[in-house]
Amino acid sequence: MDPSIIFIVMMVIAVIIFTVINSRNKGGRNVCTRCDGTGEVHEKWPDPNAPNGWHILDGICPKCKGKGKV
């Protein structure tokens, strides 16, 4: 096998490892406590402060904006 090919393969592997480590360190480590990482919430409970008396939220999680992690 050509040594230059081995060098290129090792470089590619190094880049992949670096990318994985980098993405782990960049935020998004903690699972959102409001949607448990799903990015969506289905909330409904009585809320005296709400105009209709109910807190209703069905859809994208406002805490993580649908990402599931904070």
Residue 21 interacts with Zn ion (CB under 5 A)?
no
Q: How far is CA 10 from CA 13, 14, 19, 23, 66, in A?
A: 5, 6, 14, 20, 36
d(CA 61, CA 46): 19
Q: Residue 34 interacts with Zn ion (CB under 5 A)?
A: yes
Residue 43 found at the interface with Zn ion (CB under 5 A): no
31 binds Zn ion (CB under 5 A): no
Using the contact rule CB under 5 A, the part of the chain among 6-14, 23-31, 33-41, 46-54 near Zn ion is 33-41
Chain residues binding Zn ion by CB under 5 A are 32, 34-35, 61, 63-64
